[in-house]
A and B are shown apart, each in its own frame.
Chain A
Amino acid sequence: MDVPLHQHWHDIYLKRWLIVLTAVVAAAVAWGASAVLTPVYEAKTTFYLASTAVPASFSTTAPEAPQPPLLPMPEEKAASIDIGILRGTEMMGRLAAATGSARDALVRAIDVTVSKEFMVDFYVRDPDPERAAEIANLVPDLYRGFHEEQMRRGAAAVAEALGTELAGLQAERDRLRGALAQARSDSLSAADAAALGARERDRDAAREALAALDADQARQQARIAAIGQALAQEAALYRDEQTADTTPALDAMQQRVLDLRVQLASASAASPAGPQRATLEQEIAATEAAIADERRRLRDAGAKPQGSLHEALRLDLARALADQAASAAGRPAAAARVSEADARFDAVLAALALTDADAAALAAVEARLAATRQSLDAARLQAAHVAAPLVVVSPALAPPRAAFPLPVLNTAVAALTGMILGAYYALWLAHAERGAEARRTQVTPLPFFTRDERLALIRGGAAGLREGSGEPPHG
């Protein structure tokens, strides 16, 4: 049954209300379903692992340049590794244990993607927005812990290996030391021992000479210090003017004695046996005694002849300084003799010890021991202080809106789909109606005619129909 295209449009137009009804029903059902469905909230946290970060160094040499900032590796493969680990059984198991939820449910509720900036976006869906954010925020810490555990394990393995090697090296060193000592004691002949002893005596003598020189130096130094102190005392004495012949007090007392004598003379003239005279005499005697004391003190003070002691002290100081300079001049020579004697002794000792190979091996073992100890310390430090360079760019926040279902989107898409399917439905209905009409026509009995009558009638009817309705004859 050939149907022209405009007939289809006509059918759609005729059944437009059916199409609208379909679209409305679809939209309503979608809206209702969105309202009935449990909303699911989605929280997202973004972080990255700076794979290019410089590893921590515990060596003694300080880095000259500052460490570069921790940045994500600009490569999708590196971020894909993160995703692989995050989606892996181990991490999911840890997350399930930390959140107390089933692992399978958790696997369905998460999504991990790499952002355009090569960071890791971790999505968690849950009916409770707070819990979604909480789970999402646990992930960076767990991931950091996962990496730190790996790093710690690696450093611990290195430390264990280094410890084993260290024990081996120590045993080797002890063995070599024993062998060296044995070889030295074995290879020492009587003549060699005598030569060695002579060198040793030389060395000891040189050391003793140096020590005597040092003691002499110390003595000279002490003497110089003592003379300096005496000079300082004398200077203080001069500064206090305690070497003067008189003092203001002595002058006053002498003046007082003169005055008293004048008074005594006048008193004697007035009354030779008066009580005032006796008092004056007593006072005069007391003052004279005081004058005598003062003079004695002055004499004692002036007993040091000015300049004589001072000069003697200065002479002593000059002599002491000269002696010290002389002994100091001799010291480098003595020190040189000591080092020379040391070198000779060592040379003789080295010449006598016929174990150069052992000594070299021992030195090598010692060097390796030192290096291994340093590495072991570094490995232990690394094992104790691992830090995965993970940077959280944006922690998860409780989402304010549900991620699913989205009622507006669902309704819009459902209305559109309903319109399209409604149009198909309308076309199908029209097609079915046409089919039904055709079948009905097919089974409609024609009026009974003889063949000739029938033909004539049909022809006439057809001509009439052509004229009446303008329907074109087929064929």
Chain B
Amino acid sequence: MDDEFGALEGTLRRRTARGRAAIEAELFPRRTSRARLRRALMQAAGAVAVGTFAAGVSVFLAVVILNFIFHYAPG
């Protein structure tokens, strides 16, 4: 009984939150678009950071790891 109640409560809460978000988006469209842009930019910055890290790792791999296997440079 309680489990069923908890599950239903969760669904209700989710629905309510989504409804609030929809109302907020409808009432304050600028605020939501800014937030979306900000999020996209933050994600892009994260992608750049991850890409830079990947480049560093790969150069390290090419220089150090391949050196051990193929003697400094393959071919």
Contacts and interface: CB of A to CB of B under 8 A. Distances in A.
Contacts of A416: 58
B36 to A, nearest CB: 12
A425 B62 contact: no
Interface in A405-430: 405-406, 409-410, 413-414, 416-418, 420-422, 425, 429
Interface stretch (A229-237, A344-352, A454-462): A454-462
Interface in B21-41: none
Contacts of B54: 22-23, 25-26, 414, 417-418, 420-422
Nearest to A37: B59
A29 interface: yes
Given A418-B54, A421-B50, A421-B54, A30 B59 contact: yes
Which one of B11, B50, B52 has the highest number of Cβ atoms from chain A below 10 Å of its Cβ? B50
A18 to B, nearest CB: 5
Given A26-B55, A30-B58, A475-B4, A18 B44 contact: yes
A28 B48 CA distance: 10
B58 A473 contact: no
A247 to B, nearest CB: 110
Q: Chain B contact residues (Cβ within 8 angstroms of A): what range?
A: 35 or more
A413 B12 contact: no
Nearest to B48: A25
A414 to B, nearest CB: 4
A415 B74 CA distance: 19
A413 B3 contact: no
Contacts of B4: 473, 475
Contacts of B11: 462, 465, 471, 473-474
Interface string B1-18: 001111111111111110
Interface string B38-75: 00000110111011111111110111000000011110
A308 interface: no
Contacts of A425: 46-47, 50
Contacts, number: 145
A442 interface: yes
Contacts of B61: 413, 417
B contacts with A: majority SS: helix
A441 B13 contact: yes
Given A18-B44, A123-B72, A410 B9 contact: no
Contact of B51 (A418, A458, A475): A418
A322 interface: no
A222 interface: no
A130 B14 CA distance: 72
Contact of B17 (A24, A403, A429, A440): A440
Given A429-B43, A446-B12, A458-B9, A24 B51 contact: yes
A473 B12 CA distance: 11
A426 B65 CA distance: 27
A29 B52 contact: yes
Contacts of A111: 71-72
Contacts of B48: 21-22, 25
Contact of A404 (B12, B14, B72): B72
B28 to A, nearest CB: 16
A374 interface: no
Contacts of A471: 11
B52 A458 contact: no
Contacts of B52: 25-26, 29
A449 B28 CA distance: 29
Q: Which 4 A-B pairs have the closest CB atoms?
A: A25-B51, A474-B7, A29-B55, A26-B54
Interface of B: 3-17, 20, 43-44, 46-48, 50-59, 61-63, 71-74
Interface of A: 15, 18, 21-30, 33-34, 42, 111, 113, 123, 125, 403-406, 409-410, 413-414, 416-418, 420-422, 425, 429, 437, 440-442, 444, 446-447, 455, 458-459, 461-462, 465, 471, 473-475
20 contacts: A18-B43, A21-B44, A26-B50, A111-B72, A406-B73, A409-B62, A418-B55, A418-B58, A421-B53, A421-B54, A425-B47, A429-B46, A440-B17, A441-B10, A442-B13, A458-B8, A458-B12, A465-B15, A473-B7, A475-B4
